[in-house]
Amino acid sequence: MRILYGVVGEGMGHATRSAVVIDHLLARGHEVRVVVSGRAHAFLAERFRGRPRFALVEIRGLVFSYRGKGVDRSASLRVNLAAAPAGLARNLRAYRRVAEDGFRPEAVVSDFESWSHLYGVLHGVPVLSLDNIQALARLRHPREFAGGGRRALLLARAAVRVKVPGAWHYLVTSFFFPPVARSRTTLVPPVLRPEVLALRREPRDHVLVYQTAASDDGLVPSLRRLPHRFTVYGMGRAAVEGNVTLKAFSGPGFLEDLRSARAVLAGGGFSLVSEAVHLGVPVLSRPVEHQAEQEMNAFWLERLDYGARAEAFDAATVERFLADLPRRERALASFPRRDNAMTFACVDEALDRIHRGERAPARLRSPNMGGWRGR
């Protein structure tokens, strides 16, 4: 089949997950054209350089500005409005390139990406949604989950629903598996990179810290007050300060530190959280403010006892968390670990049904972690 694959460029988790799925699609003999924005474009261009039946088109996507530990909504709006004219022109060129050069997609796969979805809608091509953020709108969460407040949660769910509305089917990747709340939805495990699946857990004495805000000047002094070893990524420098080792980012080095960590201190991003849960590493999550999806991930970490949620990584909070690791490790031992075979089977089934011209099912038949059963 000819498949148009849309990848949102904000956050690299979408790109790394999509690369795994695209690899599978190419291995199955499909022809894949990817539309992507932001840093994800460079990553996928390098990842699939020279691969047959693969093409890449760069588009302009939304970007976010951050201040402190949250999203700066005003700055984000200003940046995106300023870039809108040039971005629209680029996206129109991309649209013509796909529409006019003989590539006729038979299916669209969207990893929370709106441009490919719009192309599918305008051309009558079925859209398969495959991402983790749809969990906000398509799974049934406990009443205790408010995602930063009931009003904020309702707004976040509405925003998610209009991002890729009316898809042929939704595959929702997740490390938590509550009931599915909407039809045409199937729940599957996280998509994991092959290098993560190859890791074997061997806990040592360090705590891995992934810090996305290099301006957090209070982090290292807080960690230095504790009687534990910390390995910190994301501060923009390499140094050793007492019991804290700051490292420049390295893919293999980071995975080695992850598999051998006693615990992880990080934000609420889905990729790292799901990798840690798969490996059985407890996570203390400090979600980015005004990011309901990260709040959701932190809520379920705490709900399932795989970790805990934190307002800040101050010394007292970190110490309390580390004192209770055995309980978290026992809970993580029961996590239903899977490789990518289940998700791939669901993707293949969906594409086969689309190829045969079938109507979208309420749930897929392939083994999965849960789907719509009606009310």
CATH for 135: 3.40.50.2000
Q: How does pLDDT run across 5-62, given as a tens digit for each residue?
A: 999 887 789 999 999 999 999 999 999 999 998 889 999 999 999 999 999 988 864 4
**pLDDT: is 185 or 155 the higher one?**
185
Q: How does pLDDT run across 164-178, given as a tens digit for each residue?
A: 999 999 999 999 999
Instruction: Share the mean pLDDT of the chain.
Output: 88
Give the chain's domain count: 2
Co-location of 130 and 9 in the same domain: yes
**Given a cut of 80, is residue 325 above it in pLDDT?**
yes
Co-location of 114 and 170 in the same domain: yes
Co-location of 252 and 347 in the same domain: no
Co-location of 297 and 180 in the same domain: no
Co-location of 26 and 139 in the same domain: yes
Co-location of 67 and 171 in the same domain: yes
Co-location of 39 and 184 in the same domain: yes
**Range 208-228 average pLDDT:** 87
**Given a cut of 70, is residue 66 above it in pLDDT?**
no
Q: Is residue 289 very low, low, confident or very high in pLDDT (cuts 50, 70, 90)?
A: confident
Residue 206 contacts residue 198 (beta carbons within 8 Å): no
Question: Which domain range does residue 22 map to?
Answer: 2-192+339-371
Q: Is residue 266 very low, low, confident or very high in pLDDT (cuts 50, 70, 90)?
A: very high
Co-location of 205 and 299 in the same domain: yes
Q: How does pLDDT run across 223-265, given as a tens digit for each residue?
A: 999 999 999 999 888 999 999 999 998 999 999 999 999 999 9
pTM summary value: 0.89
Co-location of 284 and 182 in the same domain: no
What pLDDT, on a 0 to 100 scale, did the predictor assign at position 216?
74
Co-location of 55 and 153 in the same domain: yes
Co-location of 168 and 277 in the same domain: no
Co-location of 7 and 93 in the same domain: yes
Domain boundary among 317, 332, 347: 332
**Given a cut of 50, is residue 67 above it in pLDDT?**
no
Q: How does pLDDT run across 91-131, given as a tens digit for each residue?
A: 556 555 655 567 899 999 999 998 899 889 988 999 999 99
